[in-house]
């Protein structure tokens, strides 16, 4: 079996990083940890676990894309691995996953990415963790994009130039779009891949994450015409257009804001039904649908944040939610 090198990225992950490092032992021939300015003992923990450590220059804005590139090119400078597995520092590899992923990617030389299912360690600690857990479990089979935990063919990574370091959200989607445009295939296996610890227990964390998602919709949508079109349209409709109609419509009739609220209620009920069709329990579906409906407002802020950066000709800054 082809040996795999592991690139792990993180910033102030604490015990989560230590769990990730422990779980990676024996699953990769080499581990590189890329640190984005941690102020805890992350760097020391990585070195103690036998990982190569790359500490990013703090004078340049951090991003997950930049960190993943740094880890890959650190490996490439020394050993030029054929396969590299990327993982976030708040995730732990499931035993046996790497072996299964390598066996599958070796069946097709055009297969650039193999990913699997990520799940939450503390799923029921909060509704926000539950939402993450549901979000991670997408259908298996051929895909056009995936999250940052992925096994990547190094040749494909080099050919498309890796991740775009200035994309601060949905950078994995953007990377995958360039891979598919270049003729590479991506696939999700129906196997557990990583266990994630979102540690998201406060509304403010969820709000910032939703702002980050909106930024990703706008930035990646600009880079790849048509991508995230549906998401952006929904954000503009429910986060901007309908509220404006309700606000100014009161000048004509109080029925206008009532009808707008009816449209929100209809959207909410459709979301509940869709989540239940995805086998989410009814009580959870109702809670998740409420936050998904509300998310259009922080999404809109994220999209506006990206547009403002473009107008000011500034490099977007990372949006952290931990």
Residue 228 sits in the same domain as residue 291: yes
SS3 state of residue 58: coil
Residues 134 and 213 reside in one and the same domain? no
Cα–Cα distance for residue pair 154/4, rounded to 1 Å: 10
Phi/psi at 187 (5° precision): -150, 145
Q: Tell whether 290 and 142 lie within a shared domain.
A: no
User: How many structural domains is the chain composed of?
Assistant: 2
Residues 171 and 231 in one domain: no
Between the CA atoms of 64, 211, 235 and 266, what dihedral angle is there, to the nearest 10 degrees? 120
Backbone angles phi, psi at 195, to 5 degrees: -110, 125
Tell me: do 166 and 295 sit in the same domain. Answer: no
pLDDT band at 283 (very low <50, low <70, confident <90, very high): very high
Q: pLDDT per residue over 21-34, tens digit each?
A: 999 999 999 999 99
Domain C-terminal end among 167, 196, 225: 196
Domain final residue, candidates 196, 216, 239: 196
Residue 62 is predicted with a pLDDT of 84
Task: Give residue 318's pLDDT.
Answer: 79
Q: Is the pLDDT of residue 138 over 90?
A: yes
Report the predicted TM-score, pTM, of the whole model to 2 decimal places: 0.93
Write the pLDDT tens digit of every residue in 37-69.
889 999 999 999 999 999 998 888 889 999 999
Residue 38, classed as helix, strand or coil, is coil
Under DSSP, the state recorded for 184 is: -
Alpha carbons within 13 angstroms on the beta-carbon side of residue 39 total 1
- CATH for 182: 3.90.550.10
The reply to whether 115 and 216 lie within a common domain is no
SS3 state at 111: strand
Which of 302, 294, 156, 291 is closest to 221 using CA atoms? 302
Average pLDDT over residues 148-171: 95
Structural domain including 294 reads 203-312
Q: Report pLDDT for 20.
A: 94
Average pLDDT value for the chain = 94
Q: Which of 166-180, 245-259, 272-286 has the lowest mean pLDDT?
A: 245-259
Residue 319 in this model has a pLDDT that exceeds 80? no
Q: What is the pLDDT of residues 115-134, one digit of tens each?
A: 999 999 999 999 999 999 99
**Residues recorded for the chain:** 322
pLDDT beyond 80 at 1 = no
Pair 61, 131 in one domain: yes
Tell me: pLDDT of 322 over 70. Answer: no
Identify whether 320 is part of a domain: no
Rg (CA), the chain: 21
Q: Let me know whether 41 and 96 are in one domain.
A: yes
Residues 216 and 175 placed together within one structural domain of the fold: no
* pLDDT level of residue 251 (50, 70, 90 thresholds): confident
């Amino acid at each position: 079996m082809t040996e795999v090198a592991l690139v792990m990225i993180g910033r102030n992950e604490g015990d989560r990083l230590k769990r990730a490092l422990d779980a990676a032992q024996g699953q990769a021939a080499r581990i590189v940890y890329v640190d984005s300015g941690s102020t805890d003992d992350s760097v020391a923990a990585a070195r103690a676990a036998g990982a190569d450590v790359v500490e990013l220059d703090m004078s340049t804005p951090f991003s997950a894309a930049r960190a993943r590139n740094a880890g890959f090119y650190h490996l490439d400078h020394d050993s030029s691995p054929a396969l590299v597995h990327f993982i976030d520092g708040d995730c732990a590899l499931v035993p046996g996953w790497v072996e299964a992923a390598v066996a599958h990617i070796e069946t097709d030389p055009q297969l650039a990415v193999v990913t699997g299912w990520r799940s939450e360690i503390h799923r029921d600690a909060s509704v926000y963790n539950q939402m993450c857990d549901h979000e991670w479990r997408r259908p298996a089979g051929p895909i056009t994009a995936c999250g940052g935990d992925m096994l990547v063919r190094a040749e494909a990574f080099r050919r498309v130039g890796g991740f775009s370091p200035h994309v601060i959200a949905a950078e994995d989607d953007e990377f995958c779009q360039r891979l598919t445009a270049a003729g590479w295939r991506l696939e999700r296996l129906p196997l557990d891949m990583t266990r994630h610890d979102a540690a998201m227990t406060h509304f403010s964390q969820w709000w910032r994450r939703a702002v980050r998602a909106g930024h990703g919709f706008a930035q990646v949508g600009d880079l790849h015409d048509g991508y995230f079109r549906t998401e952006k349209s929904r954000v503009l409709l429910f986060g901007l257009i309908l509220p404006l109609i309700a606000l100014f419509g009161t000048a004509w009739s109080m029925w206008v804001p009532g009808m707008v609220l009816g449209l929100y209620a209809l959207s909410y009920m459709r979301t509940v039904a869709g989540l239940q069709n995805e086998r989410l329990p009814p009580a959870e579906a109702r809670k998740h649908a409420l936050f998904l409906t509300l998310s259009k407002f922080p999404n809109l802020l994220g999209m506006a944040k990206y547009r403002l950066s473009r107008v000011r000709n500034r490099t977007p800054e990372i949006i952290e939610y931990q």
